[in-house]
Structure 1
């Protein structure tokens, strides 16, 4: 995997201006950075290609949030959350940003991982239909063709959503599609709907000028956490100082992007110029960032501080995954407290006014997601 390195900022967005803006986040109650005897080179994998939903560690790298904590951070793209979690477990990376479903599957296989912080609280599983589709409610899927990718994160939970909402799946034609073609299949009306992760598929189609409607499974109680910061258990046990420094740096980065979405995207475009040059690249980044940020506004973070994981909620998600068949029959029994720890989080807290401003920013994306 090739490291993704940040470059100098454009003249219109100087490093000094960004750092001044970052200083405005003092109300976040940031803790003092741990002091290491010497700078440590640390590697982090993202869950997928760099995009607006996952690039915030790169922002923190550019703004010096990791450097001031004695960390020389290298950020690499991933190849899906399951593979990214495996790469952390196999010591290819020190830590990772991985969707909860990928961590859950790998821990059920016996890999010694744990989440240090939760960043996104809804994986945005659901169905995507064209804007003028006659599918308005769950029963409208009957008699229709629904495309899905068997290996995609949301695919196993389609049956759980159907069971919750009374869809008779014997009346639904399920069409297996290639991951590279699923959005095209909906666009070309080869299928009437697809199963999707909203933050992935909506920006792709929107950047092509295709208007869609998202039917979120979370409204029916079929919901998983999204992005989490993970590490090996041995790293957590032996190097708590590193874990704390990384969590603090990542969460500080997340807060900056929440408060300064456009300035953050300028950092992304400079670090990954191909995004800005690609047709629809900037539009995709703006939407994927907005959708991901909508999932960060949750009671867990608002009441307990950035990064907090609800252990009872994790317990219900384990049960959901088991019933949906997302875990193999020989899966290792899991306790919710094994999946995540809150020992490194809760130190960065936003005020009610700050949350209100963020809610206003993400309101258009909640509408796009059809979130109740």
Structure 2
């Protein structure tokens, strides 16, 4: 059941948070002798360019340099690495950020880095001839998604609750973990009745045809920022200027990507991947449409997190009033404003 899986993940995050706290709020790199580090360790993603990497390439980070330590496909793992000092920043779905901080991890969300909009969204798809047309039709059916206790399960639960499902009834819809690259095939082979598809995999499946949407996170919740970068409290305290340079630089990169022609953003991203020389396939970048960040400069609000606090409380992972949205984030390091944005990025 989803509630059980979610609670298991919550307990795992609690253990990570305890480990981070035991390490004295994680180990911030550099900062020795009273000087601030100008180096930030991070994890990347194969064949993709993160907003942090884009900001560095555009010259928005100044003399602050990123140090790649490897790749990850998991947001929760990425922020856990930041919490325990293996990296200096990480990013994940905001529900995972809420879980980690509620469990005691000494980190703070500082800027949004991905989201959902009309171009970038995840849809829940069924076969064209499927009898599933309403929320009630999902009872007893299998829904395939990339992971449990995260974005897609939260969207599914929100959809079901808005359609009158009680907490007990939520468990009657079976959630199945399916690797994203196999999800379309699993749907077409009728191993699952509903497939969560997004990005390139969604576009490819729609071109093939024979499927139709049941719902999407954009239709359900509108445009919203879905994930945040986090830094440890210790890193922020020891390196306030570096933190401000980093966060403001990412904010400028968000706006650069928002206002620059799509073809130019793609071309820049291809150049970045080629320059780093990791033998990566750049073909997927041609499908890039948007980072989906809703707010100007990626600034955070209570609303960014409240929907996920409510979901976790409904699931029993949080007690009512256990944590306030305002305690999860800070905009103090985000100096972005339209006037502050550079009219021309270096190297453009």
- Displacement of 1:86 in angstroms is 0.5
Quick check: 1:343 aligned with 2:332? yes
Q: Which runs of 5+ in 2 are unaligned?
A: 1-34, 340-348
Contact in 1 for aligned 2:270/2:285 (Cα 8 Å): no
Q: What is the TM-score of this pair, normalised by structure 1?
A: 0.65
Number of matched residues? 296
- Displacement of 1:85 in angstroms is 0.5
- Displacement of 1:175 in angstroms is 5.6
Residue 59 of structure 1 is matched in structure 2 by 54
CA shift digits 1:295-314 (9 cap, x unpaired):
32x3xx2xxx3122122453
Residue 357 of structure 1 is matched in structure 2 by none
Residue 321 of structure 1 is matched in structure 2 by 312
CA shift digits 1:69-98 (9 cap, x unpaired):
211212443231111001001111111233
Q: Which runs of 5+ in 1 are unaligned?
A: 1-36, 351-372
Contact in 2 for aligned 1:143/1:171 (Cα 8 Å): no
Judging changes above 3 Å, is the alpha-carbon distance between structure 1 residues 265 and 190 closer, same or farther for their aligned structure 2 residues?
A: same
- Partners of 2:146 and 2:232 lie apart in 1 by 29
1:306 alignment partner, SS class: helix
- Displacement of 1:262 in angstroms is 1.8
Contact in 2 for aligned 1:121/1:224 (Cα 8 Å): yes
Residue 20 of structure 2 is matched in structure 1 by none
Contact in 1 for aligned 2:55/2:250 (Cα 8 Å): yes
Q: How do 1:269-284 residues align onto structure 2 when only pairs under 5 Å count?
A: 269-272=270-273, 282=283, 284=284
Residue 183 of structure 1 is matched in structure 2 by 184
Residue 113 of structure 2 is matched in structure 1 by 119
Residue 43 of structure 2 is matched in structure 1 by 45
Residue 154 of structure 1 is matched in structure 2 by 151
Quick check: 1:138 aligned with 2:135? yes
Residue 65 of structure 2 is matched in structure 1 by 72
Contact in 2 for aligned 1:59/1:264 (Cα 8 Å): no
- Partners of 2:208 and 2:278 lie apart in 1 by 17
Residue 15 of structure 2 is matched in structure 1 by none
- Displacement of 1:140 in angstroms is 4.3
- Partners of 1:64 and 1:170 lie apart in 2 by 48
Judging changes above 3 Å, is the alpha-carbon distance between structure 1 residues 74 and 163 closer, same or farther for their aligned structure 2 residues?
A: same
- Partners of 1:333 and 1:242 lie apart in 2 by 32
Q: How do 1:1-372 residues align onto structure 2 when only pairs under 5 Å count?
A: 40-46=38-44, 48-51=45-48, 55-66=50-61, 69-75=62-68, 76-122=70-116, 124=121, 126-130=123-127, 135-142=132-139, 144-149=141-146, 151=148, 153-154=150-151, 156-157=153-154, 158-166=156-164, 174=174, 176-179=176-179, 181-195=182-196, 198-199=198-199, 201-203=201-203, 205=205, 209=208, 213-214=212-213, 215-217=215-217, 219-221=219-221, 225-258=225-258, 259-272=260-273, 282=283, 284-287=284-287, 289-290=288-289, 292-293=290-291, 295-296=292-293, 298=294, 301=295, 305-325=296-316, 327=317, 333-345=322-334, 347-349=336-338
Q: What is the TM-score of this pair, normalised by structure 2?
A: 0.69
2:298 alignment partner, SS class: coil
CA shift digits 1:247-303 (9 cap, x unpaired):
12112222222213222222333443599985xx63x4343x32x43x32x3xx2xx
- Partners of 1:349 and 1:98 lie apart in 2 by 26
- Displacement of 1:138 in angstroms is 2.9
Residue 25 of structure 1 is matched in structure 2 by none
Alignment RMSD (CA, Å) = 3.9
- Partners of 1:341 and 1:129 lie apart in 2 by 40
- Partners of 1:314 and 1:306 lie apart in 2 by 17
Contact in 2 for aligned 1:128/1:212 (Cα 8 Å): yes
- Partners of 1:132 and 1:39 lie apart in 2 by 58
Residue 8 of structure 1 is matched in structure 2 by none
1:272 alignment partner, SS class: helix
- Partners of 2:128 and 2:286 lie apart in 1 by 20
- Partners of 1:49 and 1:205 lie apart in 2 by 22
